A and B are shown apart, each in its own frame.
Chain A
Amino acid sequence: MKKKDILIELSCGLFIVLMLYAATSKLIDYSTFRIELGKSPVLTLFAKYVAWFIPVLEIVIALLLCLERTRLFALYAFVSIMTMFTAYITMILNYSSYIPCSCGGVLQNMNWNQHLIFNGCFALVACVVVLIYPIKETQTKS
């Protein structure tokens, strides 16, 4: 295995853990997540749908990241969802009068600024992985 492959495997593993962790922590404490999301000034109208959609999407991305064939596609999805989170946090921090808390688990201990940097870094790493990802993914492992 080349260094590049190790990097890809490691980061994909990390992304899978992150997605699964984020999804389960939301679903375990679903009622709190749903309520906190409703308090968000940006999402209050859609809280009902978003509360389901986000964890399900996270699980789907994690599954697609596991499969070799769909991995590249999953990486794009991962970049998209991380940008969405990052954009959302930026918006909440800068334009909202009320800042709710709607993240579960360990992430609760981060403040919004740390969260922003955390998300941004993940999105960046995912971009790098996409760029170094082998072109013919089906032939790389045999």
Chain B
Amino acid sequence: MLKARIIILLSCMLAGTLIVLSLYTFSEYRSNRRNGFVRQYPSKKVEGIRFIDLRYTGFYIAGCYADTLYFGHTRNKFTLFMVALSTRDTASIRLRTSLDLKLYDGNYLRTDGNNLYIFDGIKQEIVSGKIGVFSLDKTEKSPSFTAALPIENDSRILRVMNKKRVYTLIKQSGANVQDKHYVLEAQGDGTFSTDGMLVKCSDSSFFYVYYYRNQFLHMDKDMDLLYKGKTIDTVSYAKIKLGKIENGRAITFAAPPLYVNKHCAANEKYLFVHSALKADNEIKKAWDSSSVIDVYTVRNGKYQFSFYISNKKDQKLKDFKVYGDTLVALYENFIYTYKLKF
């Protein structure tokens, strides 16, 4: 009798596990269908250089100036962490300020040239200072924004929400917001479907790369559209499903959104996009153990080739930036630098 019960118990457990396992296999199968495009992988395009320990987690890339990388920290907003690329020297600085700054969570540090900014889109404030002095002593009001990119001395591109609740790019110089604006093309909803990343090129032109569709915009520093580029995958329309909770007071994703582009970076010649979609000529194993970066020319947005950035210490790439011919890959608590050979 006891034996019978043990057998029934074991089969219950087996059945439970099998049900979940089959659900998982089915969803895996669905998500690994062919995406309908191929990548080119010429060899030896990048060379790993060195590993630099950041000691703590929570750092994000703020910028690069004169061979030194700057990092902000998500919790300690006045901490600036510096890494000298050539000597690997690191230092942590606490930014001073004469102002009475009460910033909200979600603000972030960016450097552009030797300028230092803290962007706070909720408080609608932009605080600035200089590298070298490391003191924040200027503050400017701005409209409420959800993304920002310093573009030239004292100018920045901001992503704001227009009256129809569609994300729109505007330029603010000093305290002046220019009338000119660029409304991002909504695909269904105006904010989720248009979400993406701003990244600057060395010549002060910039890109807006969408998260959920295979498109990027290249604009000059005055926000004139130079061209619309296409990433190599086939997702031209954002695959997102939204849902309302609490009687429509909050809108959120109702299914995991299909990411197309995860991170991006640019130098003077190329746009680099960390893609989320597997090409048909890629092996699942390689795909799982690395991140793929697609390279496009800045001049006309044409696809060139791709290369892999492999996982380090079982961690996937968290973010990356390219400065000249150095690619900086950020992981949880360390960075790894690569030399570009093209």
Binding site for B on A (CB under 8 A): 31-32, 34-35, 38-47, 76-77, 79-84, 87-88, 91, 95, 98, 123, 127, 130-131, 133, 135
Contact present for B16 and A84 (CB under 8 Å):
yes
Of B24, B30, B246, chain A has the most CB atoms within 10 Å of the CB of B24
In the docked arrangement, what's the CA distance between A34 and B31, Å? 21
Taking the closest CB of chain B, its distance from the CB of A65, in whole angstroms, is 15
Contact present for A43 and B15 (CB under 8 Å):
no
Please give, as numbers and ranges, the residues of chain A lying within 8 Å of B16 by CB-CB distance: 79-84, 87
In the docked arrangement, what's the CA distance between A45 and B29, Å? 12
Of B5, B12, B253, chain A has the most CB atoms within 10 Å of the CB of B12
Task: Indicate if B17 sits at the interface (CB-CB under 8 A).
Answer: yes
The secondary-structure label for the interface of chain A is helix
Contact present for A131 and B2 (CB under 8 Å):
yes
Taking the closest CB of chain B, its distance from the CB of A47, in whole angstroms, is 8
The secondary-structure label for the interface of chain B is helix
Contact present for B23 and A35 (CB under 8 Å):
no
Given A83-B13, A127-B9, are A91 and B20 neighbors across the interface (CB < 8 Å)? yes
Task: Indicate if B21 sits at the interface (CB-CB under 8 A).
Answer: yes
Contact present for B27 and A130 (CB under 8 Å):
no
Contact present for B12 and A31 (CB under 8 Å):
no
Contact present for A131 and B6 (CB under 8 Å):
yes
Please give, as numbers and ranges, the residues of chain B lying within 8 Å of A43 by CB-CB distance: 23, 27
Given A83-B17, A84-B16, A131-B2, are A35 and B24 neighbors across the interface (CB < 8 Å)? no
Q: Give the contacting residue for B255; candidates A38, A76, A123; CB below 8 A.
A: A38
